[in-house]
Copies of this chain bind each other. A is one copy, B any other.
Amino acid sequence: MRWADLGDTGCSIARALSVVGDRWTLLLLRESFLGATRFEELHGNTGAARHIVAARLQHLVEHGVLDRAQYHDRPARFEYHLTRKGAALYPVVVSLLAWGDEWMLDGRDPTLAVVHEPCGARVTPELRCPTCGGRIDPDDTHHLVAGRDRPTPQHESPGPVGRAS
């Protein structure tokens, strides 16, 4: 199976990865979340080859993650801004940051921190259940898989997974 065909899968994870799942894209999005908007910034801060940056940006624009806006005429110059769809990827990037901070730093100091403005604290955000407010851990969840009966522990798996509960 080719990578490009993943977008046609039923799985939302695969579909998400078909947009952001290649080697440099998430790094470009890190830059977007840090405020970088111009090609040279995106290129310089990630270290990816120029034509890779160009290709990835175009791909992200096509999928509505970034918006390409002209900020100067003659010569035409463009800025890349996160759309709402792009901004919604924040949890993905922050989760990678949190995991990297915890498991990949080997005692070094982190170089990037998130400050939650409403409370002013430097935080490492965590996933929580919107219903009960509890922390979400893999041990506390199971998964309903449509078209595949895979109830992680001994729970009955209902039919296709509807959107509402």
Contact = CB atoms under 8 A, between A and B. Distances in A.
Main secondary structure of the interface of A (DSSP, over half): mixed
Interface in A80-129: 82, 85, 87-105, 108-119, 121-129
A42 to B, nearest CB: 13
B88 A91 contact: no
A27 B17 contact: yes
A127 B94 contact: yes
Contacts of A30: 11, 13-14
A116 B134 contact: yes
A48 B10 CA distance: 16
A23 interface: yes
26 contacts: A5-B47, A10-B111, A11-B100, A12-B97, A12-B100, A12-B104, A13-B100, A15-B100, A21-B26, A21-B27, A34-B152, A85-B103, A87-B139, A91-B126, A94-B127, A112-B143, A115-B141, A115-B155, A116-B129, A116-B141, A119-B134, A121-B129, A121-B165, A122-B144, A124-B130, A126-B128
Given A122-B144, A131-B121, A160 B109 contact: yes
A138 to B, nearest CB: 4
B110 A161 contact: yes
A98 to B, nearest CB: 7
A90 B125 contact: no
Q: How large is the interface on A (under 10, 10 to 19, 20 to 34, 35 or more residues)?
A: 35 or more
A92 B95 contact: yes
A137 interface: yes
Contacts of A100: 11-16
